[in-house]
């Protein structure tokens, strides 16, 4: 008799291997993405561009990212993360290398757009596959560990960029992480599995869940194929609009924080660039604790609190003046809740919508996030160029974060078949 996967004894549940692979994906992806703010001061002079144009380069990434994310979410639900993530990983790594080779605004924007296409499979599919491998009661813990990869990626690359630039030049700050992304393609293709049902076991932490074979899972998902029904639910739009507002708030500050410290507060580049690892390591501290707490107090209360603290820490950044201590502590507090924001909004898909729709819901929320970030870059960069200061855009970020917190008060948890 053939031994079923369910009856095998695992020393370590495969969910933890999946989590480790997804962690590395996020580490590399966010090292590329968030490292842009550290390399930015050198790209300004090398490409002869202003800050609004620098924001447009990031916006090219974001436009590609949020346009493709609903598509990659759909593909993840239909084809599985194991097929989707490696294919898009090729584009992620190749695009980063092309950014390093760019010599003009157009070339950098086009190349970063390719990175955005690849990155569209490094959040929605990754978040989806992890939620499927862990039970609802363990989802916050898993997403907290997973999301520490975003902060570590930013912190490590933020620390390495000044050394890389000093040793070679800013272009190698793109070549090195690009090569790392390409190295992950084979690992994802060989080891990643889209769901525990694919190998006939239950998610970690949910031993009561009945055994389901791969073909049964596929049929159950197929029966829920009313692909856009969740769009009719008010809770989808409440969460989505809040996501838009907090995205605006965070990107208006974090993309420009090194430039703000260097060119507005006149700290040296070496000192200003330390804000990146401060921000990144603070993210790690936040995501290792707060998502776990959210399993007990709920995602709604966690996000209301988080968005309010983001507003307060941004006020502190504006008021820091020439005090390095106040600035670095404020950026650190912002980092704690920056890292929490994305997995907590992603976890709402699993909490408020059916399991078979998680990928589609997260993908459909991504344009809210992307448009918020694009608006932040255009407005913050333009206002900085015309006023010579970041005060107005940072205060707009405060208002946006407070609104993001307030709107969640209208959210009611109900499990409809959406």
pLDDT band at 221; cut points 50, 70, 90: very low
Q: What is the pLDDT of residue 324?
A: 93
Question: For residue 4, what pLDDT is reported?
Answer: 44
Most trustworthy range by pLDDT among 1-5, 95-99, 271-275, 381-385: 95-99
Mean pLDDT value of segment 103-119: 92
pLDDT-based confidence at residue 189 (cuts at 50, 70, 90): confident
Look at residue 414 and tell me whether its pLDDT is greater than 70: no
- The yes-or-no verdict on residue 418 having pLDDT over 60 is no
In the block, which residue shows the tokens 């960029």? Answer: 161
pLDDT single digits (tens) 368-381: 988 898 899 889 88
Instruction: Please give the residue that has the higher pLDDT: either 332 or 355.
Output: 332
**Res. 205 pLDDT band, cuts 50 70 90:** low
Residue 309 has what pLDDT?
95
Q: Taking 90 as the threshold, does the pLDDT of residue 244 lie above it? A: yes
> Global pTM?
0.68
Q: What is the pLDDT of residue 219?
A: 42
pLDDT of 242 higher than 60? yes
| 239 part of a folded domain | yes
112, 60 in Cβ contact below 8 A? Answer: yes
Q: Which domain holds residue 82?
A: 12-197+214-410
Split into its structural domains, the chain has a count of 1
Domain of 140: which CATH number? 1.20.1250.20
Q: Is the pLDDT of residue 212 over 50?
A: no
* 118 belongs to a structural domain: yes
Q: What is the pLDDT of residue 218?
A: 41
Residue 155 lies in a domain: yes
- For the packed helices 290-297 and 324-352, what is the interaxial angle rounded to 10 degrees? 40
Evaluate if residue 214 carries a pLDDT over 50. Answer: no
20 touches 143 (CB < 8 A): no
Q: Is residue 206 part of a domain?
A: no
Which has the minimum average pLDDT: 157-161, 303-307, 368-372? 157-161
Residue 227 has pLDDT above 70, yes or no: no
Query: Looking at residues 245-255, what average pLDDT do you find?
Result: 92
Higher pLDDT: 356 or 391? It is 391
**Which of 182-196, 217-231, 353-367, 392-406 has the largest mean confidence?**
392-406
Return the closest-CA partner of residue 250 out of 344, 165, 174, 166. Answer: 344
Domain contains 193: yes
CA dist list (Å): 91 to 64, 121, 131, 158, 263? 12, 10, 25, 22, 33
Q: What is the mean pLDDT of residues 269-279?
A: 86
Q: Is the pLDDT of residue 225 over 50?
A: no
Whether the Cβ atoms of residue 96 and residue 177 lie closer than 8 Å to each other: yes
Residue 117: the pLDDT is 93
Residue 7 within any structural domain of the chain? no
pLDDT of residue 335 exceeding 80: yes
Per-residue pLDDT at 56: 87
Per-residue confidence (pLDDT) for residue 3, from 0 to 100? 42
Report yes or no on 3 lying in a domain.
no
In a domain, 242, yes or no: yes
């Amino acid at each position: 008799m053939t031994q079923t996967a369910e009856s095998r004894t695992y020393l370590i549940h495969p969910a933890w291997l999946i989590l480790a692979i997804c962690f590395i994906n996020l580490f590399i992806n966010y090292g590329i993405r968030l490292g842009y703010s550290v390399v930015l001061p050198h790209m300004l002079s090398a490409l002869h561009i202003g800050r609004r144009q620098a924001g447009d380069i990031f916006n090219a990434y974001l436009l590609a990212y949020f346009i493709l994310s609903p598509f990659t979410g759909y593909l993840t639900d239909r084809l599985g993360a194991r097929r989707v993530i490696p294919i898009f990983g090729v584009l992620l790594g190749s695009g980063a290398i092309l950014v390093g080779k760019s010599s003009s605004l157009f070339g950098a924007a086009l190349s970063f757009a390719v990175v955005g296409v690849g990155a569209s499979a490094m959040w929605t599919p990754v978040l989806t596959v992890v939620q499927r491998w862990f039970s609802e009661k363990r989802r916050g813990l898993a997403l907290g560990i997973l999301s520490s990869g975003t902060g570590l990626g930013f912190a490590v690359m933020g620390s390495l960029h000044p050394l890389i630039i000093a040793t070679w030049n800013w272009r190698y700050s793109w070549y090195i992480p690009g090569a790392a992304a390409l190295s992950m393609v084979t690992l994802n293709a060989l080891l990643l599995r889209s769901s525990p049902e694919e190998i006939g076991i239950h998610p970690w932490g949910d031993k009561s869940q009945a055994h389901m074979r791969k073909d049964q899972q596929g049929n159950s998902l197929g029966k829920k194929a009313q692909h856009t029904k969740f769009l009719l639910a008010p809770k989808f739009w409440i969460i989505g609009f809040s996501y838009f507002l907090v995205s605006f708030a965070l990107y208006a500050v974090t993309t420009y924080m090194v430039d703000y410290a260097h060119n507005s507060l006149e700290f040296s580049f070496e000192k200003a660039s330390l804000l990146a690892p401060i921000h990144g390591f603070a993210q790690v501290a936040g995501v290792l604790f707060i998502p776990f707490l959210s399993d007990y107090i709920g995602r709604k209360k966690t996000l209301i609190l988080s968005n309010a603290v983001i507003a307060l820490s941004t006020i502190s950044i504006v008021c820091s003046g020439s005090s390095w201590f106040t600035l670095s502590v404020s950026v650190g507090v912002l980092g704690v809740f920056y890292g929490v924001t994305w997995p907590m909004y992603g976890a709402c898909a699993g909490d408020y919508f059916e399991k078979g729709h998680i990928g589609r819901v997260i993908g459909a929320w991504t344009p809210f996030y992307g448009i918020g970030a694009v608006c932040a870059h255009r407005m913050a960069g333009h206002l900085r160029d015309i006023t010579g200061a970041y005060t107005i855009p940072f205060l707009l970020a405060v208002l946006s974060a407070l609104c993001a917190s307030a709107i969640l008060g209208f959210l009611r948890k109900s499990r409809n078949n959406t």
